[in-house]
């Protein structure tokens, strides 16, 4: 089995790329979905996050309001409130990584020749890159990130620009991510162009998964 990390900056299109890999036959898990499950009431991570950031991040029903948590963690757009991303990551990352490891182990048992891909924004920032055999980085232009975030969140482009800038400050630059990558997918063109890159990379990863790989 080949363990693959799929990462990239905010709004580069990681989820779209992950879906394409799945269509070609890869096994996919998304770190954001793991984190979402871990933040459900009753989970240890939920308890620690509420203790750290307060009940102001909760909906009336006790579930986490992800927008409020993001505000609390990333600071406000004016810069008047400092970022607390490190505190959030300290709580969430170890638990997410543990679940990822369990999932990859299960996939390997079911399919020894599998390509198991973890989609996660902060693989490098979390120091988790060494847990993977290969790293794929998704990129696109800075203006595209803003346009995509505005579309996704249904907000105006100026608000999106401030939010993307704020979140990018908590991430490594695209240039640094590219330096660490085994493969880079340029997602600034058409979906067909992206799909062609994914197909070629998946063929390479699949071939490697069929052979003994150092670390497996």
Q: What's the pLDDT tens digit per position in 179-216?
A: 999 999 999 999 999 999 999 999 999 999 998 644 44
Give the least confident one: 71-80, 127-136, 199-208. Answer: 71-80
Of the pLDDT bands very low, low, confident and very high (cuts 50, 70, 90), residue 100 is very high
Q: Residue 114: pLDDT above 50?
A: yes
Distance CA 140, CA 211 (A): 32
pLDDT at 77: 55
Average pLDDT over the chain reads 93
SS3 182: coil
Q: What is the mean pLDDT of residues 120-135?
A: 94
Token pair 């969430």 is found at 92
Distance CA 10, CA 12 (A): 6
pLDDT at 170: 82
Q: Residue 80: pLDDT above 90?
A: no
SS3 116: strand
Q: Which residues are within 8 A (CB) of 120 and not within 5 positions of it... i.e. 6 or more apart?
A: 5, 6, 7, 30, 31, 32, 96, 100, 126, 128
Distance CA 94, CA 73 (A): 17
SS3 144: helix
CATH ID of 2-209, from 3.40.50.300, 3.90.930.12, 3.40.190.10, 3.30.365.10: 3.40.50.300
Which of the pair, 133 or 82, is modelled with greater confidence? Answer: 133
Are 134 and 202 in contact by the 8 Å Cβ rule? The answer is no
- pTM attached to this predicted model: 0.90
pLDDT at 70: 87
């Amino acid at each position: 089995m080949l363990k693959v990390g799929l990462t990239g900056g905010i709004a580069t299109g990681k989820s779209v790329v992950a879906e394409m890999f799945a269509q070609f036959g890869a096994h996919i898990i998304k770190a954001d979905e793991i984190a979402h499950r871990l933040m459900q009431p009753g989970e240890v991570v939920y308890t620690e996050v509420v203790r750290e950031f307060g009940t102001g991040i909760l909906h009336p029903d006790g579930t986490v309001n992800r927008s409020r948590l993001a505000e609390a963690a990333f600071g406000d757009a004016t810069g008047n409130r400092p970022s607390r991303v490190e505190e959030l990551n300290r709580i969430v990352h170890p638990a997410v990584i543990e679940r990822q490891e369990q999932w990859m182990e299960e996939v390997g048992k079911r399919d020894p020749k599998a390509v198991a891909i973890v989609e996660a924004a902060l693989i490098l920032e979390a120091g988790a890159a060494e847990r993977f055999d290969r790293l794929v980085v998704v990129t696109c232009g800075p203006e595209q990130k803003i346009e995509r975030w505005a579309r996704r969140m249904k907000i105006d482009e100026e608000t999106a620009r401030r939010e993307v800038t704020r979140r990018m400050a908590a991430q490594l630059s695209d240039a640094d991510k590219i330096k660490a990558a085994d493969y880079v997918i340029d997602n600034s063109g058409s979906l067909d162009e992206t799909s062609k890159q994914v197909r070629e990379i998946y063929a390479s990863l699949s071939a490697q998964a069929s052979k003994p790989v150092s670390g497996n």
